[in-house]
Structure 1
Amino acid sequence: MPVELPDLPFLPSSLQPHLSAEAVNRRQTIHRAYVEQVNASIAGTDLEHAGLEEILRQAQGKLFEAAAQAWNLGFQWQCLTSPRAGVEPGDALGQLITRHFGDSNRLREEFNRIAQSTDAPGWAWLVQHPDGTLGVVRSLHAATPLTGPGNPLLACDLWEHAYQTDYQQDRTRYLDGFWKLVNWTFVASLLR
């Protein structure tokens, strides 16, 4: 069974004004291309009936890159929701954030610092380490923490196509908008 492009968990216009429907649709077109590339690469191989995570964990080279980008984009879509003013992480997630960063504002500052730390394309992640602690990491290009020991909780796409439509080259404004779209319920559901 081929890998399928997951449905968006929201309408493309529902992330406005922070991400336009045009930007969401552009990224979804890129996501579709990665899924199609994965399916073309696994046709007739032992991975033909594998799920995307299994493919990603076994793949190398161009197949890895396509599978990682497809997984990263699908994961990020789950991390986003319609903008809601004043929503903060609560319960166990909020306590962990306070313990490891001081508060959610300091988490955002650290996340933004890591996201701005290089001009190379990639991703910024909030992860939960095997010992239960939280951390912020950056992966370059198609790399993903899914293949390492950390448990991905939150992803932010830092490829230019993620913010060029709405923010041109202004990654700082893009990150400000990103924080207004974080689906803290989804993030909290991934805690181990």
Structure 2
Amino acid sequence: MPYAYGALGKAIDAETMKLHHDAHHASYVKNLNDALKQYPDLQKRSVEALLVNLNSVPEDIRTKVRNNAGGHLNHTIFWQLMSPEGGGQPSGAIAQEINKTFGSFDAFKKQFNAAGAARFGSGWVWLVRNPQNQLQIVTTANQDNPIMEGSYPIMGNDLWEHAYYLKYRNRRAEYLNNWWNVVNWPQINRRYLSFSTERSVN
């Protein structure tokens, strides 16, 4: 992670961050490596390529790859989307796009939180650029990533109980609300702009 375990105390406690990173995320990496041991060709693929082309993964390890490659990618993105200096209002290109699509940042935040609160069980809530090239709020189950459905994840929040239960218990809505205090808008802008650049090159 690009910060200390306790650096996001405005939203997430140090013990949760340590368990989340060192136990949960680490287990996804270990389990993915274990699943790929017998398949040297698959080991050369990126995590994104494995998930986008999941049907090309042998059936005997497909579910394990889906769950653990997804868990690894989701968390790799997640750590970068937060910062001790985070929070506040977005600025730049992503702010303009949010205002254009959702009417205002407050309206977007309300819809994002509502989608996260409504997701049953474990999963994620995302802001994506969908295949129609529009911003959209979506949720995914378990450790699925939006790239599996042809969308590009710009930002996302972890809805698994291990992401918040030590501090918030069953108060997911409170966690969702406090999470905005550590959102790393410069990084989210970079993700948005890198996707836009990639699209214009292609």
TM-score by length of 2: 0.86
Q: How does 1:111-150 map to 2 (within 5 A)?
A: 111-150=112-151
Are the counterparts in 1 of residues 86 and 185 from structure 2 also a CA contact under 8 Å? no
Report the alpha carbon displacement of residue 156 of structure 1 after superposing the two structures with TM.
0.4
Are the counterparts in 1 of residues 86 and 183 from structure 2 also a CA contact under 8 Å? no
Q: How does 1:58-97 map to 2 (within 5 A)?
A: 58-59=53-54, 60-84=62-86, 87-97=88-98
How far does the alpha carbon of each residue in 1:78-115 deviate from its partner, in whole angstroms, 9 at most, with x for none? 11111445x21111111111111111111110001111
Give unmatched runs, 5+ long, in structure 1: 1-7
1:40 corresponds to: 34
CA distance in 1, matches of 2:150, 2:52: 12
Report the alpha carbon displacement of residue 56 of structure 1 after superposing the two structures with TM.
2.5
- Structure 1 counterpart of 2:46, from 51, 63, 74: 51
Are the counterparts in 1 of residues 119 and 139 from structure 2 also a CA contact under 8 Å? no
Is 1:18 matched with 2:11?
A: yes
Give unmatched runs, 5+ long, in structure 2: 55-61, 197-202
Report the alpha carbon displacement of residue 64 of structure 1 after superposing the two structures with TM.
1.1
- RMSD over aligned Cα, in angstroms? 1.4
Report the alpha carbon displacement of residue 55 of structure 1 after superposing the two structures with TM.
2.5
**Percent of residue pairs bearing the same amino acid type:** 27
Are the counterparts in 1 of residues 16 and 164 from structure 2 also a CA contact under 8 Å? yes
Are the counterparts in 2 of residues 96 and 133 from structure 1 also a CA contact under 8 Å? no
Q: Secondary structure at the match of 1:125?
A: strand
How far does the alpha carbon of each residue in 1:133-167 deviate from its partner, in whole angstroms, 9 at most, with x for none? 21100001121102222110111000111110110
2:57 corresponds to: none
Are the counterparts in 1 of residues 32 and 69 from structure 2 also a CA contact under 8 Å? yes
- How many residue pairs match? The answer is 184
Report the alpha carbon displacement of residue 57 of structure 1 after superposing the two structures with TM.
2.6
CA distance in 2, matches of 1:34, 1:25: 15
Are the counterparts in 1 of residues 122 and 142 from structure 2 also a CA contact under 8 Å? yes
CA distance in 2, matches of 1:129, 1:67: 21
Report the alpha carbon displacement of residue 120 of structure 1 after superposing the two structures with TM.
1.3
Is 1:187 matched with 2:188?
A: yes
Report the alpha carbon displacement of residue 43 of structure 1 after superposing the two structures with TM.
1.1
Is 1:153 matched with 2:164?
A: no
CA distance in 2, matches of 1:75, 1:113: 21
Q: Secondary structure at the match of 1:55?
A: helix
Report the alpha carbon displacement of residue 177 of structure 1 after superposing the two structures with TM.
1.3
Moved over 4 A (4+): none
CA distance in 1, matches of 2:94, 2:111: 16
TM-score by length of 1: 0.90
1:5 corresponds to: none
How far does the alpha carbon of each residue in 1:17-43 deviate from its partner, in whole angstroms, 9 at most, with x for none? 311110101111100000000001111
Opposite residue 53 of structure 2, the aligned amino acid is Q
Report the alpha carbon displacement of residue 50 of structure 1 after superposing the two structures with TM.
2.3
